[in-house]
Structures are given as C-alpha cells and as structure tokens.
Structure 1
Amino acid sequence: MKILSIDSSSTCSTCSILEDNKLLGEIIYNDKKQHSIILLSQIDSLLENLNIDIVNIDAFVVSEGPGSFTGLRIGLATAKGLAQGLNKPIIGVSTLDCLAHNIAFFDGIICPIMDALRDNVYTSIYKFSGENLERIKDYMAIHIDELIQMLKENGDPKVCFVGDATYKFKEKLSNSFPNSYFAPAHLNIARASSLGELGIKKLLNGDQDNLFTFSPIYLRKSQAEREYENKIRMVPNE
C-alpha cells in the first residue's frame, strides 16, 4: 500500500510517499509560505524521482491543522482534488499529533507548540503508552503562560517541547521547567513522513474522512473574521 502525505500547515511545505512501513521518499522546504506555487511541483518531483505513477497511490494523507489558515486550505484542496480525481481514500491527521509522533517513545510528557501569534500557541499534551501515542488533552489555542500553568498542575513534569514555537519560548519554558527537553531542528516541523505513518494506522483501522465534508481544524477565528466582528461591534445601533 502506497500512501502520499502532504503538509502545508506552516512555513514548511512537505510531501512524502510511504509503502507499508517503508519511507520511499520525502521532500521538505522550510523557508517561505509559497505553498500554492511549490506544493504540486514537490509532489510531481517526488513521484518522478521514485518512478511512481500517481494512479498507483492507494490513499492520500493530509494535515488537518491547526496551523496557517491559507496553508491548510491549500494542502487540503490539493489532497481532495487528487483523492477525488483518482477515487482514492483521504485521511486527515492533526498537525499536533504529527509533531508529537516525531518524539516517539519519549518517557515523559510530549507537548507540541505551534506559534499562533501574540504569545499564543496551538498545543495539546501527549504521552506514549508502549508503541501507542495517547493524547491526554484536547487541541487548544491558548496563551503560553496558560500552558505553563496547566503543565505545572502536575508538579515538575518531565516534558519535551516540539514545534516552531519552541524557538520563541525556549528560554521561558526552560526557566519554568528544569526537567524540560527540546526537539532538534529537524523534528520541529510536521514532517509528511510522520503524517503518513499516522495516516496508515488510521486507514488500517478503517478510519478515513468523507471527501465532501472534511474540513480543517482551525481552533480560532481568522484575523479577517476577528477584525470584521470588531467593526460590527463598533457600529452604533440606529
């Protein structure tokens, strides 16, 4: 079974192809948000270099968020178009699940943090039970200080932080948690290969998404929506 996975939820644009439990190839660009320009060419390049025809892909896995609103929509539209055109399954995997999976078998708490601007983060809390990744808190968009307070409710946990927000908050988190660890740079992105591994597990369990109702996990309203609501509140009642 060949799986093509796609992630464009952040500045990183990445795609990979897995065949069963083997990673055949992966392309990662982590520079600028040019997903609408480069994502399809990445996929074409990956297929060409692996000498795989797109019709031989058995399912498509895509990041369902949270993350960049525009990036998520580009990735999802691409995966949906391919899945519908080829009549193949589509599976959504959370970006946060993917980041946590990067830190496989860490024996403490795993806390992915993605920058949500204004000192907020997209986050959740995980632990490994044997070979299984367990999410022990739901997906959240909260202030970094709220996250610190939440984690401190468990005393002084052994915790590994992973994600692009670690660069922004590393000093604050290090001072708050003496028993803290931080993922290396190559694991601080939601790699398409990790996304694909989780997607394969879901597919084998009979879990796939409805092509026509599947939508991203945003966790919060877009800036345009917030600005519009503020304008509405400022209009005086007649």
Structure 2
Amino acid sequence: MALLLNIETATKNCSVSLAIDGKTIACKEIAEQNFSHAEKLHVFVDELLKENNLNYKDLNGVAVGQGPGSYTGLRIGVSSAKGFCYALGIPMIAIDTLEVLARKITIAEGLIIPMIDARRMEVYSAIFEIDYTKTRNVEAVIIDANSFSEIGKKIHLVGDGIAKFKEVLTDEKFIYHDDVVYPSANEMSYLSFEKFKKSDFVDVAYFEPFYLKDFMISK
C-alpha cells in the first residue's frame, strides 16, 4: 500500500490531498484572490493526516505540481514538498500541472486545452487527447482570433485563462468549461501513484519548478 501526499499550488488554488494506491481519500483546498498558500498549506496537511488517523511517518512519498504557473505559488509548494521529503526520508514526485488541470474533465471526442493565465492575452497551455496523451508540449502562447485554426476537432477549454478569450475564440468548435478553473490535488492521485510504482522520482536537493518564463519584478 502506498500513501502519498499531493500538493498543487501553481495557481490561486492551494490544494492538498491524501491518496492510497492512486485513489484520493481526502482533499482540502481553497482558492482566494490573494494567495494564501503560505498560511494554508501546512495547516491543510496537518488536518488531513489527523482527520484520517495518520501520521507523517505513514507517508510513502510526496507529489507536487511542477508548474507552469505562479512563481510564488510554485516556490511555496515545491519548498514544502522538499521539506517533507527531506525530513521523512521519502521520495518526491513531480507532476505536470497542465495535465492535472486537463484531467478535471472527461470528453468523448476532440481535444482538451488547459490554459493557466499568464496575464494580458498570454496563457500557459498544452494540448491533450481524450486519453490525456499530450500532443503539444507546454508553451507560453499569446492567443488571438487565429489561434488553433489548424485544428478541425472540437476543442475543450479549461482553466483560469479561458474567460478572457470568449470574444476572441468564437468558432463553434470551442467548448468553454467555465466551471473548471484551477488544477486540484485531487486529480494528482492517479498520476503520482503511477510514477511512484515506476520509481519516477526527482532529486529533492536539485529539483526546480517549471516556471516556463523568467520571473519578472514590476512596480
């Protein structure tokens, strides 16, 4: 039996779950306008373990959303995961945040394009088939009326980056899933267990989040 802690903090959603053999047994999350990850993450972990009569020493590994996404959010999530893994002597697993977001919906046809807001008309995105196979790697792209014009299939859009494109991407092939806004640790459970079984771990000391773009400081 593998008990894994999953942490996803790449967006405004501070999300934590516990999973046994790939199935979520409990999840806590909160999405606030002002990022509250530093205040909430460790509280959520403590509460999840206590509510399920578990201890830190029961954990077999920690998975973290690797990004792309918020610089601050990713730093908090990865730093916390590293701390748990180092202190407990357990492996660390990195999960693609965009795949986590894509897995929040199930479709019968077409493609899934998760979009994480990168400000203005730019988003972090990738393209996934109905079985979540990635067919275009993660990119930071500027969206305009011609975006995805080469795709003849239905396109399912999810994430906090899609709302601003409703007047831009108006073709009937675009399906907006407005209720799917943020990635969640709930959808990490299956992915982290699959990697755990394969011993697909990252180096706790040297792993860095996938920022995709350089951190920019503005006044």
Q: TM-score range by the shorter chain?
A: over 0.9
Q: Where does residue 113 of structure 1 map in the other structure?
A: 115
Q: Where does residue 138 of structure 1 map in the other structure?
A: 137
Separation in 2, partners of 1:58, 1:166: 36
Flag structure 1 segments of 5+ consecutive residues without an equivalent.
228-238
Amino acid at match of 1:151: F
Give the SS at the match of 1:102. coil
In structure 2, relative to structure 1, the CA distance for the partners of 1:138 and 1:165 (3 Å cut) is same
Separation in 1, partners of 2:22, 2:210: 27
Q: Where does residue 214 of structure 1 map in the other structure?
A: 207
Q: Give the share of equivalent positions with the same residue, in percent.
A: 30
Q: Where does residue 33 of structure 1 map in the other structure?
A: 35
Deviations, residues 48-84 of structure 1 (Å, cap 9, x unaligned): 1111111101110101000100110000000000011
Amino acid at match of 2:53: N
Structure with greater helix percent: 1
Separation in 2, partners of 1:150, 1:80: 38
Q: Where does residue 53 of structure 2 map in the other structure?
A: 51
Alpha-carbon distance, 1:108 to partner: 1.1
Separation in 2, partners of 1:139, 1:78: 24
Q: CA RMSD in A?
A: 1.7
Structure showing greater Rg: 1
Separation in 2, partners of 1:200, 1:215: 21
Amino acid at match of 2:69: G
Give the TM-score normalised by structure 1: 0.86
Contact 2:6 2:17 in 1 (8 A): yes
The number of residue pairs the alignment matches comes to 217
Give the TM-score normalised by structure 2: 0.93
Flag structure 2 segments of 5+ consecutive residues without an equivalent.
none
Q: Where does residue 74 of structure 1 map in the other structure?
A: 76
Separation in 2, partners of 1:88, 1:184: 37
In structure 2, relative to structure 1, the CA distance for the partners of 1:106 and 1:3 (3 Å cut) is farther
